[in-house]
Amino acid sequence: MERKENVILQKTLDFALQIIDYCELLESKKKYVIARQLLKSGTSIGANIHEAQNAESKVDFIHKIKIAAKEIDETGYWLKLCFLSKHYPDPKDVDIQLLEIAKICNRIIYTSKLRKN
């Protein structure tokens, strides 16, 4: 039986790789503090989504997805600072990818709460 691709897993993995590249650019420009914060929050989104795949219950699943949603918010904050500061390189399309992931995450939370099982 062929396994269906899990879109959110792939998107968060791709996003984490983008974040790593952007944080390496920040570090090359000696922007260490925000690079570190952004790297932690940006890569933990996918880690929490992956962890949710092995949740022990529906409540546990929703909880882990909500943690990922919090990391999305934090990552958005750091990216916004980088975007608004004239001393930081433009994060380019990283914020667009984050918005897409946020929409999927919110939809997962909403539909998970609706389901009875």
Q: Consecutive sets of 10 residues in the chain, 117 residues long: mean pLDDT of each?
A: 80 98 98 98 98 95 97 98 95 93 97 79
How far, in Å, CA of 55 to CA of 35, rounded?
Answer: 30
Measured CA to CA, the distance from residue 74 to residue 68 in angstroms comes to 10
pLDDT of residue 116: 62
Nearest CA among 65, 70, 80 for reference residue 40: 70
The answer to whether position 2 is within a domain reads: no
Name the amino acid, one letter, at 43.
T
Question: What's the pLDDT at 117?
Answer: 57
In a domain, 102, yes or no: yes
What phi, psi does 35 have (nearest 5°)? -60, -45
> What's the whole-model pTM score?
0.91
- Domain of 70? 7-114
In a domain, 79, yes or no: yes
Which pLDDT value is given to residue 82? 96
Radius of gyration of the chain (CA): 15
Residue 34 lies in a domain: yes
